[in-house]
Amino acid sequence: MKIQEADAKSLLAAQGLPVPPWAVARTPAEARAAAERFLADGAGRVVIKAQVLVGGRGKAGGVKLAGSPAEAEEVAGRILGMEIKGIPVRKVLVGPAAVIVKEFYLGAILDRASRRIVLMASAEGGVEIEEVAKATPEAIHRVEAHPLLGLLDWQARELAFAVGLAGPHLRDFVKIAKGLVATMRANDADLVEVNPLAILRESGPEGQVERLACLDAKVTLDDSALPRHPDLEKLRDLDEEDPADAEARHYDISFIHLDGSIGCMVNGAGLAMTTMDLVNRAGGAPANFLDIGGGAKADRVSAAMRLILADPKVRAILVNIFGGITRGDEVARGLIDARARQEREVPMVVRIVGTNAEEAARLLREAAFETAATLDEAAAKAVAAARQATGDAA
Amino acid sequence: MSILIGRDTRLVVQGITGREGEFHSRQMLEYGTRIVAGMTPGKGGLHALENRVPVFNTVAEAVRQTGANTSCIFVPAVGAPDAVLEAIGAGIGTVFCITEGIPALDMLPVVEVVRAAGARLIGPNCPGATSPGRAKVGIIPGSIHREGHVGVVSRSGTLTYEAVQAMTDAGIGQSTCVGIGGDPIIGTTFLDVLQLFAADPETDAIVLIGEIGGSAEEEAAAWAAEHLRGVPMVAFIAGRTAPEGKRMGHAGAIISGGRGTAAGKVTALEAAGIRVAGSPTELPALLREAGYRE
């Protein structure tokens, strides 16, 4: 699960990491009030950042500076009206704009190949790390945290030296690096990224001082661990969620909305992806990824059918079940029941093999369902049905 | 011979008295797997499955009393990492963890302990393995198999059944089919299984079934190019139409930062001389084109 920058910053701050203050505003007036506070506290300017769960906010014009409360209100108004990669901006983060001496990248990820938490650092901060990885992979330095002992001080120091951090910042860097791993463990995150981690110049009572701070934060949480973190489940941003996603979660269905016209209902994730691929290969486009999971009963099949039909672009439905734990006759009964109650007439092609497939075949035959023997045949039939339904002569 | 499981498998089922554990244990017994023990804390002394399987309180006791050498875990996600560690602590050499939904970070210390013990963990979130005619451990339907000499390794469940059924229908039997699991952190990788197949005199050809996410298929392809010359090997990769940044059901099936795409995996496999089927039903024909004969 992705969470917003402001929430990610809270998680970092909870582990004692240095994060400059911020406020979240949903209206230009709220942004103005926040800016007033930060400017009164001595900030020269404020930064206003769109809060959306996609990257590339800066490039899209979703990050701007303002020098007065009035300007903050005006800038926030513009950002709040924007769409970034198709997502409307509904809130902004307001914070004091810092004087940046130098920017770094620091990220902790769950690395599948090494089966370790890997910490990555680069002296090229503030730019997308994927770009750095492509252009100059040697500029990214990595250390693997020990699976039992965690990240050790010397490993963090090694990273600090590799990115050219020494002197007064060394100790802080070690603390921050270990804090990233601690944030990951405390919240069961797959990814904790600070980009940029920056050396800031601030004026204090004893003149100018420089210190390290986390200016941005990105955290992705492990969905499998959410049941044991009810507090984190609350960070799910329903503003950016398809209402279908919540229903799918309720029924324990894996559902991802896509752009095509052929709704798919499959048991098993790998087979569901394969079904999409074969629809594509047969000249059609899948409307969704949908895995009803193992051992699905009639109610889950009905829910899956509702999810598929809620998409007005769907012109045909392909059901592909390879029964193992899932019983083919249970699915067939669910389909018959769902079709009796559905509000929209959409052609359906059903293929059920494996456990109790004979009984399923009999039920489907009696209910006059269109069936197919193989996956390839089912895909071809569904694509043909969708074409006929849209009146496409091709 | 076969890999991971065979006639010498003496299985203990952890969680045998649960709904899933009992259902699948029955199927395994019917297939001919030697289930020597069940384990459920607090149910020691009982007998499961119409008195056919003695139940113990601990895995260590099951090992002492029955000589169990392999474990299959049907324990809910909260307790599954502990179940794996208990099996390893009791000296079990091969552990299959079927459980889905274990938090990934929980598995990091577990795989480390398994490795240090010199044991092997398959999964989690895996369907298990079948050595047709000898034994099946896990949840793969026994009926789809045929005895033979093709090794199958996959990250998926039902997709594997689809591919295996297509092979069986075409008269191509299997030496062992292994589902390694759809999670990001798993105990046994494609590469590990390829090494086992390479050393198995009864495996003459290999089918690899991968999917988007991670780089395990690419690593397997690179190893195969160097070490499996002359062994007919074909593949299928699921997720050619999967969008970036979305988890496709399996926790590990996600394209991120342009990495882990199906196209990248297909390219890597083909560069290693491994043909990639456009549909699982084409795998038998591709195997024959790669020179495989029963």
Is B20 a member of any domain? yes
The torsion defined by the Cα of B54, B55, B58 and B59, in degrees rounded to 10, comes to 50
pLDDT tens digits for range B45-98: 999 999 999 999 999 999 999 999 999 999 999 999 999 999 999 999 999 999
Distance from CA of B2 to the nearest CA of A (A): 23
Question: Do B154 and B262 belong to one domain?
Answer: yes
Is B135 a member of any domain? no
Q: What is the mean pLDDT of residues A192-207?
A: 91
Is B1 a member of any domain? no
pLDDT tens digits for range B66-75: 999 999 999 9
The region of weakest confidence among A17-21, A127-131, A347-351, B59-63 is: A127-131
Question: Do B167 and B110 belong to one domain?
Answer: no
pLDDT tens digits for range B94-131: 999 999 999 999 999 999 999 999 999 999 999 999 99
A209 touches chain B (CB under 8 A): no
Domain count of chain B? Answer: 2
The pLDDT of residue A245: 85
Domain limit, last residue, from B72, B93, B122:
B122
State yes or no: pLDDT of A128 exceeds 50: yes
Domain limit, last residue, from B122, B151, B177:
B122
Q: What is the mean pLDDT of residues A380-391?
A: 91
**Domain range enclosing B186:** 140-289
Residue A306 token pair: 């509702």
**Average pLDDT, whole number, for chain A?**
93
Is B129 a member of any domain? no
Tell which of A115, A241, A258 to mutate to test the B interface (max B CBs under 10 Å): A115
The pLDDT of residue A393: 39
Question: Do B153 and B221 belong to one domain?
Answer: yes
B207 touches chain A (CB under 8 A): no
* pLDDT above 90: percentage of residues in chain B: 93
pLDDT tens digits for range A254-267: 999 999 999 999 99
Question: Do B257 and B151 belong to one domain?
Answer: yes
**CATH code of the domain containing B233:** 3.40.50.261
Question: Do B216 and B280 belong to one domain?
Answer: yes
Is B4 a member of any domain? no
Question: Do B283 and B146 belong to one domain?
Answer: yes
Is B250 among the residues known to form the active site?
yes
Is B134 a member of any domain? no
Residue A335 token pair: 């389909």
pLDDT tens digits for range A296-343: 888 899 999 999 999 999 999 999 999 887 889 999 999 999 888 888
- What does residue B103 show for φ and ψ, rounded to 5 degrees? -55, 135
State yes or no: pLDDT of A392 exceeds 60: no
The pLDDT of residue A344: 85
Domains of chain A from N-terminus onward: 1-20+99-241 (3.30.470.20), 21-97 (3.30.1490.20), 242-390 (3.40.50.261)
Q: How far apart are CA B101 and CA B250, in angstroms?
A: 9
Is B284 a member of any domain? yes
Is B133 a member of any domain? no
Domain limit, last residue, from B69, B94, B122:
B122
Under a CB-based contact definition with an 8 Å cutoff, are residues A290 and B270 in contact? no
pLDDT tens digits for range B217-235: 999 999 999 999 999 999 9
State yes or no: pLDDT of B29 exceeds 70: yes
Supply the pTM of this predicted model.
Answer: 0.94
Q: How confident is the model at residue A129 (pLDDT cuts 50, 70, 90)?
A: confident
Question: Do B83 and B223 belong to one domain?
Answer: no
Q: What is the mean pLDDT of residues B194-210?
A: 97
Residue A128 token pair: 């997308």
Of B103, B108, B238, the CB nearest to A273: B238
Question: Do B272 and B202 belong to one domain?
Answer: yes
Question: Do B79 and B212 belong to one domain?
Answer: no
Q: What is the mean pLDDT of residues B178-201?
A: 97
Distance from CA of B112 to the nearest CA of A (A): 7
Question: Do B93 and B178 belong to one domain?
Answer: no
Q: What is the mean pLDDT of residues A82-106?
A: 94
Of B165, B212, B215, the CB nearest to A113: B215
Residues 6+ apart with CB under 8 A from A384: none
Please give the residue of chain B at the shortest CA–CA distance from A55. B257
The pLDDT of residue B238: 97
Q: How confident is the model at residue A127 (pLDDT cuts 50, 70, 90)?
A: confident
Q: How far apart are CA B20 and CA A267, in angstroms?
A: 17
Q: How confident is the model at residue A355 (pLDDT cuts 50, 70, 90)?
A: confident
Q: How far apart are CA A387 and CA B6, in angstroms?
A: 50
Residues of B in contact with A218 (CB under 8 A): none
Tell which of B26, B30, B74, B108 to mutate to test the A interface (max A CBs under 10 Å): B108
**CATH code of the domain containing B29:** 3.40.50.720
Q: How far apart are CA B150 and CA B131, in angstroms?
A: 11
The pLDDT of residue A130: 80
Q: How far apart are CA B22 and CA B17, in angstroms?
A: 6
The pLDDT of residue A232: 97
Residue B234 token pair: 């074909």
The pLDDT of residue A394: 43
Question: Do B151 and B283 belong to one domain?
Answer: yes
Question: Do B188 and B273 belong to one domain?
Answer: yes
